[in-house]
């Protein structure tokens, strides 16, 4: 595996760019033409890098009106399309964009659109940007010039260098091309290429040839490095984007937050010149794009600020099956000896006794919450299939059962907090298990990752809800977040 230092040796050093510089550039544009970026988030973990922004799990026109009235530069919409088949995902993207544009017509704000997806390249691409662009064109007559692709998530070890997308590890300083990781073997969204231009060609089935993709490598992103002038980088980025037309894919090298801020300034300049852009991005892009500082991780006290925590135990729900989640679950269960563990057996969920089995599971969870925290997880034996549609059906069945357990528990004996581990799991728990319609992202529970939502309506109002992606954090992370929120914290080693 290549070493990060060796790969970076061919490129300039990063510029130092304060978030305020980006925020000022965005504000200067907004002074004459206010804009809100609507983030269509294909699972809720996209919020983990931002703070103090509204989140919707429903997308009727009135929901967007609520969000736009919050006066924030962006709003997240939890579409959960990574759990849907392509036809359903397309329909949902179209509906969200149409309703957002309808809500914006009542005010003086224009909208931009962001398709937020996985930092390890799983998801409906190019379908989702295609549908967003087509819907915007149909509703407003505005054509999209370029689709800017920024999967990098440095906080979680995902970076792009020389047009190649990597994950950090397992050795110190080592980089693994993302196509060589477990994520690329995903039953529904697998892929063969780590070089982003070739990934685009692969996923578009040749509609976009690799040599037609614009690549903003670190030489462009860091063009102002020698003089320390971010304006030089911004101009170089805008110049490189100039040829984009008819949704040209634009892939971007990113290693650090400063790279992301340099990109944000360049995109602001390109749009000022008249370029119409959509974004297909990983979690931290929005933080940099609107000029937010990196929010320090929240303490347990901050997590409950403004609300009185229940004396009940907390509910930790684990649905993800990726390796890091299984390791995190083991560390938590080893250390949190007072927590009750309730396993949901997937084979029972797929069998004839599923209703009775769910009744028993809910009874067990409610009884255990009366004396402490409860860890609910699906059986770790993953039932695999080579059929993508069947794989999604099994995932939906399991998720529906998890949602039912959470919802019935909430209405019987509300927990002190809820942590949901896994993208589809956390989406379904939010929208259906906890019946959250509107929430505010307060910030991260760990540096740059794992977001806390404050539900502002519904039966979960006042209960901290933690959205924890399946593929982020180290082995200790789940135990660390639980210890901040729990009455009976996991012991430290």
Summarised one tens digit per residue, pLDDT across range 34-83 is: 999 999 999 888 898 999 999 999 999 999 999 999 999 999 999 989 98
Q: Per-residue pLDDT for 12 more than 90?
A: yes
In this predicted structure, what is the pLDDT of residue 489? 65
Torsion of CA 219, 220, 223, 225, to 10 degrees: -60
Q: What is the pLDDT of residues 108-124, one digit of tens each?
A: 789 999 999 999 999 99
Task: Say what the pLDDT of residue 491 is.
Answer: 61
Backbone phi, psi, residue 171, to 5°: -80, 160
Does the pTM of the predicted model rise above 0.95? Answer: no
* 279-324 tens-digit pLDDT: 999 999 999 999 999 999 999 999 999 888 888 999 999 987 778 8
- What integer pLDDT is reported at residue 169 of this predicted model? 81
Band of pLDDT at residue 87, cut at 50, 70 and 90: very high
Q: For residue 369, name the pLDDT band (cuts at 50, 70, 90).
A: very high
Q: Are 32 and 109 in contact (CB under 8 A)?
A: no
Residue labelled with tokens 């996991």: 490
* pLDDT value of residue 245: 98
Tokens of 85: 């088949």
Q: What is the pLDDT of residue 115?
A: 98
Among the residue ranges 459-463, 467-471, 489-493, the one predicted with the least confidence is: 489-493
Token digits of residue 469:
């992606």
d(CA 29, CA 268) in angstroms, rounded, equals 8
Residue 56, helix vs strand vs coil = strand
Minimum mean pLDDT among 137-141, 247-251, 467-471: which range?
467-471
Count CB atoms within 10 A of the CB of residue 345: 14
CA 361 vs. chain centroid, Å, equals 30
**CB-count burial class (<10 Å; 0-12, 13-18, 19+) for 46:** buried
The helix or strand, by DSSP H or E, that contains position 114, with its residue range, turns out to be strand 110-116
Instruction: Write down the pLDDT at residue 381.
Output: 60
Q: How many CA atoms lie within 13 A of 291 on its CB side?
A: 20
Mean pLDDT of 157-185: 93
Residue 380 has pLDDT above 60, yes or no: no
Position 394 pLDDT exceeds 80? no
List the structure tokens of 49.
């890098």
Give the DSSP letter of residue 457. Answer: S
Of residues 374 and 384, the one with the higher pLDDT is 374
Domains and CATH numbers, the chain: 4-289 (3.40.50.10840), 300-485 (3.40.980.20)
Model confidence at 348: pLDDT above 90: no
Angle at 237 between CA 235 and CA 238, to 5 degrees: 65
Distance between CA atoms of 479 and 338, rounded to whole angstroms? Answer: 13
Using the 8-state DSSP alphabet, how is residue 429 labeled? I
Calculate what percentage of the chain has a pLDDT beyond 70.
Answer: 98
**What's the CA gap between 325 and 14, in Å, rounded?**
32
């Amino acid at each position: 595996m290549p070493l990060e230092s060796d790969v970076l040796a061919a490129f300039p050093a990063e510029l130092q760019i304060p978030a305020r510089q980006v925020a000022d550039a965005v504000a200067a544009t907004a002074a004459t033409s206010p804009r809100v970026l609507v983030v269509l988030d294909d699972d809720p973990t996209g919020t983990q890098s931002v703070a103090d922004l509204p989140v919707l799990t429903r997308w009727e026109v009135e929901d967007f009106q609520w969000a736009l009235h919050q006066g924030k530069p962006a709003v997240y919409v939890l579409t959960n399309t990574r759990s849907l088949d392509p036809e359903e995902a397309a329909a949902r993207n179209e509906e969200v964009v149409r309703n957002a544009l309808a809500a914006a017509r009542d005010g003086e704000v224009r909208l931009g659109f962001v398709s937020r997806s996985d930092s390890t390249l799983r998801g409906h691409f190019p379908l989702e940007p295609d549908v967003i662009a087509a819907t915007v064109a149909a509703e407003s007559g505005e054509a999209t010039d370029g689709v800017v692709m920024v999967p990098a998530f440095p906080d979680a070890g995902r970076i792009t260098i020389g047009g190649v997308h990597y994950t950090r590890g397992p050795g110190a300083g080592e980089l693994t091309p993302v196509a060589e990781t477990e994520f690329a073997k995903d039953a529904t969204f697998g892929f063969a290429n780590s070089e982003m231009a070739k990934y685009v060609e692969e996923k578009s089935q040749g509609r976009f040839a690799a040599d037609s993709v614009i690549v903003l490598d670190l030489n462009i992103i860091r063009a102002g490095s020698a003089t320390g002038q971010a304006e030089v980088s911004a101009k170089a980025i805008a110049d490189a984007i100039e040829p984009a037309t008819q949704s040209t894919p634009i892939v971007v090298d990113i290693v650090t937050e400063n790279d992301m801020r340099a990109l944000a300034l360049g995109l602001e300049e390109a749009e000022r010149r008249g370029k119409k852009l959509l974004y297909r991005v990983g979690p931290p892009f929005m933080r940099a794009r609107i000029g937010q500082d990196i929010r320090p991780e929240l303490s347990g006290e901050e997590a409950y600020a403004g609300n009185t925590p229940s004396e009940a135990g907390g509910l930790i729900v684990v649905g993800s099956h990726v390796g890091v989640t299984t390791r995190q679950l083991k560390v938590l269960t080893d250390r949190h000896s007072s927590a009750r563990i309730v396993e949901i057996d997937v084979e029972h969920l797929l069998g004839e006794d599923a209703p009775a089995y769910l009744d028993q599971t809910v009874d067990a969870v409610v009884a255990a919450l009366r004396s402490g925290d409860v860890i609910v997880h699906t059986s770790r034996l993953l039932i695999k299939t080579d059929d993508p549609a069947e794989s999604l059906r099994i995932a939906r069945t399991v998720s529906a059962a998890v949602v039912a357990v959470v919802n019935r528990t909430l209405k019987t004996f509300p927990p002190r907090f809820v942590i949901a581990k896994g993208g589809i799991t956390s989406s379904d728990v939010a929208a259906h298990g906890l019946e959250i319609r509107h929430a505010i992202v307060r910030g991260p529970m760990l540096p740059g990752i794992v977001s806390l939502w404050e539900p502002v309506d519904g039966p979960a109002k006042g209960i901290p809800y933690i959205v924890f992606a399946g593929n982020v954090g180290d082995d200790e992370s789940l135990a660390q977040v639980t210890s901040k929120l729990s009455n009976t914290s996991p012991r430290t080693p």
